Amino acid sequence: MTDEDHPASFAAEMLRVRHGHAATDTREVPEEAAVAIVHDASTYAVMMATPRDLEDLAIGLSLTEGVIAHVGEVRGIEIVHGDLGVEARLWLEPGRAAALAVRRRTMAGPTGCGLCGVESLEQLRAAPPRAPAEIAPLTTAQVQRAMAALEPAQALGRATRAVHAAGFWTAGEGLVLAREDVGRHNALDKVIGAMARQLIAAAGVLVLTSRVSVELIQKAAAIGAPVIAAVSAPTALAIRTAEAAGITLIAVARSDGFEVFSHPSRIVH
């Protein structure tokens, strides 16, 4: 049984009170499960996530955490559902064990927590980013089309109004893929994992429904993404990190426009 066989949402019974009237009803709510990322039989991280697209999540997290340099270093992957949660078991190529030992940690944190479980402030320092992929300048209309394309891909979001989404868009193909999760970090890791598994180069735009904190910029930098665009605002550290990594950071992207916080030369009017 794959993770796709497990429901991503649940019809919860509830009492709805509106305008002074009460009635029983149901609401679709997202599922949330403890997901352990396991490398070579050793747990690396435990997080709360939507139990879908977990192979993408495991590959994406392994890439953005620097456990692997490319998807070819994963010899095998298995998703195992249990009573307490889900294990995403990865078997790595020989030679990755030493690199993994440097970054070894066990995280137990809330939904999609980006920095839970680090053992020291030194661990917050990200690995040097990859050089951003080459990309033709984007018009303002293309940026708006990229953001608009994510909405139709959010089936779980429309059903529950309680999850984040991330996607990858290119000028030539439009929205190439999208993933959803209760955690915004998880949604982006799922997209990055799916891109790696499908051998999709990062020469496009990562689009997000969330605010932009530094961890999301670090994840984009890990794969050499040149542009990241989000519905909500960025943090100050995210802006500084995007500037240093050579990433064009677009935020507060709405139907009437957007704001560019770093490397605006990739945007033409």
Catalytic residue among 34, 69, 108, 113: 113
How buried is 129 (Cβ within 10 angstroms: 0-12 exposed, 13-18 middle, 19+ buried)? buried
> Does the annotation mark 113 as catalytic?
yes
Q: Are 86 and 33 in contact (CB under 8 A)?
A: yes
C-alpha distance from residue 43 to each of 51, 115, 118 (Å): 18, 16, 14
| Extended beta strands in the chain, E state | 9-18, 21-30, 33-39, 42-49, 74-81, 86-92, 138-139, 164-170, 174-181, 205-208, 227-230, 248-254, 257-262, 267-268
Cα-trace Rg, the chain:
19
Q: How far apart are the first and last CA of the chain?
A: 49
Hey, what are 47's tokens?
A: 């997080």
Type of residue found at 109 = G
Q: Are 23 and 43 in contact (CB under 8 A)?
A: no
Q: Are 176 and 168 in contact (CB under 8 A)?
A: yes
User: 168 Cβ partners below 8 Å, 6+ apart?
Assistant: 175, 176, 177, 178, 191, 195, 200, 204, 205, 206, 207
Active site residues: 113
